[in-house]
Structure 1
Amino acid sequence: MPKTLTENFVEQFTLCKVTADETVGIIAELGQKDEYVAAAVAAARQIGAGVLVLHASSLSSPNLPPYAADGREVAPLLAAAGECDFVVDVTVGGLIHSDVRTRITGNGKRMLFVAEPNDVLERLSGNAELRSAVEAGGNRLRSGRTLRVTNPAGMDLTADISGEDLPITHQWGYVDEPGRWDHWPSGFVACFPHDRTAEGRIVLQPGDGLIPWQRYVRDTVTLEVEKGFIKSVSGNGADAHLLNDYFEAWNDSEVWALSHMGWGLLERARWSAFDVYDPRTLYGQELRSTAGNFMWSTGSNRFADRETPAHLDIPMRGCTVEIDGVAVVRDGIIVAD
């Protein structure tokens, strides 16, 4: 029998090592996702932890401009969150790329973002085996110099990933260490290549994903990349026009930049999720995490001091991902060590 939302939160908080002597802070937007707030409060209480709900009027960014963040709520929110040991983000769009997230985790707090429907949370919950696979992928990235991605449609993209200081995101779906952020559920590894080093061509094919539009690519689209920025988007179908229209709407050169790149490692995640569920109830974690997908993103990159509310994650099927000429993913299948 499926677990209730509260039961799943209790199990997740246990994975995150929440204890009775800790205080849990829940960041939410007024009138949004109230059932997640209630479940998080109930889970914290069952464990015996203190719990504080921090409601802001609005923290999420929209899919299209105009957008101007109201910073007046951030300082008091941070002050309250700073008194908590474990912070749960149940905002609609998430604080993934915001200053709020980095300032909370920078103070050593554990922070977890939750957005997917209850059965997805339960089905894709993380574990030690997934964590080991994600950490191994991170080690491969950290020891490499050049990331290259190709596909049979003509994609050929390279980026500089050299140096031990390469920013790497490890996501296995729970946070049990000070200063760690994660997204429940998750199962992928990604890096932020050195800014302005990505070069080549990206070729999207029907069935690839567009997040947060929460739909599949319908037409072949070619994106030419120079010095880390998309220089052109072309194709004979509607998708090329729509991507161009989206990027141009922001009137901001930063939205054309490439951001993080990586691959999925969660074998239980299914590519069909956008058709099985109402896609607007999803945040897209299932496609991001599907084993063997190559995912890249546009826009925000805090390591390059680039903040913009325009941000696309694009997971792709059937790609080959190589680090210094050695495949970690071949034709969309993870290569076993």
Structure 2
Amino acid sequence: MPKTLTENFVEQFKLCKVTASETVGIIAELGQKEEYVSAAVAAARQLGASALVLHASSLSNPNLPPYEADGREVAPLLAAAGECDIVIDVTVGGLIHSDVRTRITGNGKRMLFVAEPNDVLERLAGNIELREAVENGGNKLRAGSTLHVTSAAGTDLTADISGENLPITHQWGYVDEPGRWDHWPSGFVACFPNDRTAEGRIVLQPGDALIPWQRYVRDTVTIEVEKGFIQEIKGDGADAHVLRDYFEAWNDSEVWALSHMGWGLLERARWSAFDVYDPRSLYGQELRSTAGNFMWSTGSNRFANRETPAHLDVPMRNCTVEIDGVAVVRDGKLVSE
């Protein structure tokens, strides 16, 4: 029998090692996702922890300009969150690329973003086996020098991932260590290649995904990349036009940059989610996490001091991902050890 949202929060908080001596902070937007706020508070109390709800008027970014950040609520928000041991982000758009997230985790606090429907949260909950697979992928990235992605459709992209300080994102869906951020649910590993080193071509095929638009690609799009930036978007169908229009709308060269790259590791995640659910009820994490997908993104990259609210994640099927010539994904399937 499916669990209630509160029951799933209780199980998640156990994974996050929430104890009775801790305070759980919940960051939310006024009038939005109140059922998540209530469930998080109830779960914290069931475990004997205290709960503090921090409501801001609005923290989500629009999908199109004009946009100008209003930072007046950030300072008091950070001050209150700083008194909590773990912070749960249930804002609509998430604080993933914001200074708020960086400063909370930078002070050693655990931070968890929650956005998906209840049954997705339950079905894709993380575990130790997933964590080990994600950490193993991160170790391969850390030991590598060149990331090379190809596909039968024509994708041929390389990026420099050398260096001991390569930023790597490990997402297995829970936070049980100080200073850790994650997104429940999750199951992928990604890195931020050395800035301006991505070179080559990306060919999107029908059925690939565009997030946060929460839909599948409808026709073939060819994207030319030089020195880490998209130089040209080619295609006769609607998607090429829409992508060009979106990037041009911001009138900002930073939105054309490539950001993180990685692959999915969650076998329970299904590519069909955008058709099974109302796609606007989803944050897209299931598509990001499907085992063997190659995912790349655009725009924001805090490691390159690139701040922009324009950010797309693009999971792709049927790609081969190699690190220094050794495949970790072949034709969209994970390569076993």
Q: TM-score w.r.t. structure 1 length?
A: 1.00
Shift of 1:155: 0.6
Distance 1:248 1:148 in 2: 28
Distance 1:220 1:59 in 2: 35
Q: Which position in structure 2 is the counterpart of 1:184?
A: 184
| Structural mapping, 1:78-89, within 5 Å | 78-89=78-89
Distance 1:33 1:310 in 2: 23
Distance 2:24 2:34 in 1: 16
Q: Which position in structure 2 is the counterpart of 1:221?
A: 221
Q: Deviation string for 1:278-316 (max 9, x for gaps)?
A: 000000000000000000000000000001000000000
| Structural mapping, 1:35-74, within 5 Å | 35-74=35-74
* Structure 2 segments unaligned to the other structure (5+ residues): none
SS in 2 for 1:53: strand
SS in 2 for 1:111: strand
Q: Deviation string for 1:219-256 (max 9, x for gaps)?
A: 00000000000000010100000000000000100000
Q: Which position in structure 2 is the counterpart of 1:244?
A: 244
| Structural mapping, 1:96-111, within 5 Å | 96-111=96-111
SS in 1 for 2:95: coil
Greater CA drift, 59-68 or 126-135: 59-68
Q: Deviation string for 1:168-225 (max 9, x for gaps)?
A: 0000000000000000000000000000000000000000000000000000000000
Q: Work out whether 1:122 is the aligned partner of 2:122.
A: yes
Q: Work out whether 1:25 is the aligned partner of 2:34.
A: no
| Structural mapping, 1:1-337, within 5 Å | 1-337=1-337
* Structure 1 segments unaligned to the other structure (5+ residues): none
Shift of 1:164: 1.3
Distance 1:2 1:66 in 2: 42
Distance 1:246 1:179 in 2: 34
The one-letter code of the counterpart of 1:3 is K
The one-letter code of the counterpart of 2:153 is A
Distance 1:111 1:68 in 2: 25
Q: Deviation string for 1:8-49 (max 9, x for gaps)?
A: 000000100000000000000000000000000000010110
Shift of 1:2: 0.2
SS in 1 for 2:271: coil
Shift of 1:69: 1.1
Distance 1:308 1:60 in 2: 13
Distance 1:70 1:43 in 2: 32
**Identical aligned residues as a percent:** 88
SS in 1 for 2:97: coil
Moved over 6 A (4+): none
CA RMSD of aligned residues (A): 0.3
The one-letter code of the counterpart of 1:208 is D
Distance 2:67 2:48 in 1: 40
SS in 2 for 1:246: helix
SS in 2 for 1:193: coil
Distance 2:48 2:97 in 1: 31
Q: Deviation string for 1:128-171 (max 9, x for gaps)?
A: 00000000000000000000000111110000000111000000
Distance 1:251 1:180 in 2: 34
Distance 1:110 1:61 in 2: 23
SS in 1 for 2:248: helix
Distance 2:32 2:70 in 1: 18
